Structure 1
Amino acid sequence: MEEMKMKGIKTKKIVSVVLAGVLTAGVLSGCGKSGGSKAEAKDTEDKVIKVAASATPHAEILKEAEGLLKDKGYDLEVTVFDDYVQPNEVVESGEFDANYFQHAPYLESFNEEKGTHLAGAGEIHYEPFGIYPGTKKNLKDIKDGDSIAVPNDTTNEARALLLLQDNGIITLKEGAGLNATVNDITENPYDVKIVELEAAQIARVVDETAYVVLNGNYALEAGYSVAKDALAYETSDSEAARTYVNIIAVKEGSEDKAGIKALVDVLKSDDIKKYIEEKYDGAVIPYE
């Protein structure tokens, strides 16, 4: 009996050791699987690019980019916002990878005011100001005393005046740049009268002024084609275009992430450039 008891004890010990080994292996195996799942999940996350955007033209352009990004192995998720605050806040918080709705001056102002840490990752397009016909159909027909309607808000008035300067109609004080006002006009060879109006009202005075200066969206609303109707418009090398180019914005430090670089590359591709040129008829221009 004693011998059998001893044998029984030894057997129990062996069984216990075996069971322990099985349990240990199971736990280790489970840990391995869990780690694998996390890695797989992380890999999936890295292949999804979440972008906050304005509806027009930004979300439309991103929609066109979806297939091209898919070919590069990325899924693009676009959420449309109708304000200019939330798109920056969701990128700052890390909820979104990027946004597409703003130009650099607005981003810099937002960072300063809100204490955010956003940066530009790529320059995609600009929406040009144009000089459009009023009572006169060609800039060569300009005469002394002609009137030209321009927007009266600070930023847009400066862009309008710079465009008039680029076309030889006026000369501005050196260094006035994007802070220019009518008080900065130093030469006015045609003695033109600058009529300052709210941007939304300018298209309504085409029968009263020789020319009008409109930004892209108001030109479209008025039924103008930038490419066909503008007598002159901001070129990609103009100070305004370089300054107010619309960008992909990200959290500082994310500019060189593979997904962000892929997004910018696609948005600057020939396919997207062609789409922009054909769809927006000059109201939106790819930035070179």
Structure 2
Amino acid sequence: MTTPSSSTRRWFMALTALAPLALATPGALAQSAPQTVSIGAEAVPHAEILEFIKPQLAREGIELKVRVFTNGHQENQAVAQKDIDANYFQHQPYLDSFNKSNGTRLVAIAAIHVEPFGAYSRKHQRIADLPEGATVAIPGDPSNGARALLLLHRHGLVTLKNPDNILATARDIVANPKKLQFRELDGALLPRVLGDVDLALINTNYALQANLKPGRDALLIEGSQSPYANIVVAREDNRNHPALAKVLQALKTPEVKRFIEERFQGAVVPVF
């Protein structure tokens, strides 16, 4: 048997030491590539905002990879399973509901903006025009479904047993003067059914994707003091990673605030 030379042994040892780096999970913010951050986002406005800060982060040596999702459940699972490092699309009640339902422990690490929730119609120009028995489409997930009902409650269309319950359902309605009929649908589908229902309560990101202008088109809309701020979410094990911290710093600059205000004209409101 031929004994390997010392130079061959050194080469083999170096190659072996590098092997674990090649196996690093993309979403783990591994120390081998600490300057790459992957974040999931809805296309509008979240991905647009993230794309805006890419050049600044690149100058600081951070490569920001933005992955666009259309399903919030899948987006949170991608963080939990370390496919991506963080996401930016949801508010705290949605995250709380997801963690409870899925046994996850994802955490909010920054609040960036509010998207005032609105009610839209293709059939009626005023809320007062809603007929008795009108069909109202609301988001099917617990947190946004409750958000829709709370908006209707504040405007007197229904009365909820507890108007402070952020997980209220149609079963919590104690008065329904117009006998509204509710349909629960996936949030992304709500703009598509506008022609089939009397009223749809739609998250602003989906409204913007459907070319709806909340300030112009919404028959009802939340105020700027809405508690449903959109947050950046990560796993507990990487919430304090330096590269992710730089992303958060870049999101909270005067330049980003100005971009949001000019780009979205009140449909998206910065909270920093």
Q: When you count helix as a share of all residues, which structure comes out higher?
A: 1
Change in CA separation of 1:96 and 1:179 when aligned onto 2, cut-off 3 Å: closer
- Taking structure 1 as the reference length, what is the TM-score of the superposition? 0.63
Q: 3-state DSSP class of the match of 1:180? A: coil
Does the 8 A contact of 1:157 with 1:181 survive in 2?
Answer: yes
**Shift of residue 108 of structure 1?**
3.9
Residue deviations 1:97-147, cap 9 Å, x none?
A: 3222344344445445555442111122344321335665445xx379656
Q: 3-state DSSP class of the match of 1:150? A: strand
Counterpart residue number, 1:4: none
> AA paired with 2:183?
L
Alignment partner of 2:64 out of 76, 100, 107 = 76
Residue deviations 1:211-261, cap 9 Å, x none?
A: 65333355346542112222331234335x2xxx33212221433333222
Q: Distance in 1 between matches of 2:59 and 2:171?
A: 53
Counterpart residue number, 1:46: 34
> AA paired with 1:46?
P
**Shift of residue 168 of structure 1?**
4.1
Residue deviations 1:138-177, cap 9 Å, x none?
A: 45xx379656542253634432221122234443222562
**Shift of residue 183 of structure 1?**
4.5
Does the 8 A contact of 1:151 with 1:160 survive in 2?
Answer: no
CA-atom RMSD in angstroms: 4.0
Counterpart residue number, 2:25: none
Larger radius of gyration: 1
Q: Distance in 2 between matches of 1:143 and 1:71?
A: 54
Counterpart residue number, 2:180: 194
Change in CA separation of 1:254 and 1:148 when aligned onto 2, cut-off 3 Å: same
Does the 8 A contact of 1:154 with 1:179 survive in 2?
Answer: no
Identical aligned residues as a percent: 36
Does the 8 A contact of 2:36 with 2:63 survive in 1?
Answer: yes
Alignment partner of 2:257 out of 261, 268, 273 = 273
Q: Map 1:77-226 onto structure 2 (within 5 A).
A: 77-81=65-69, 83-84=71-72, 87-88=75-76, 91-92=79-80, 96-112=84-100, 114-132=102-120, 137-138=125-126, 142=128, 149-152=135-138, 153=140, 155=142, 156-175=144-163, 177-186=165-174, 191-199=177-185, 200=190, 202-205=193-196, 209=198, 212-217=200-205, 219-220=207-208, 223-226=211-214
Counterpart residue number, 1:252: 236
Give unmatched runs, 5+ long, in structure 2. 1-9, 22-29
Q: 3-state DSSP class of the match of 2:260? A: helix
Give unmatched runs, 5+ long, in structure 1. 1-26
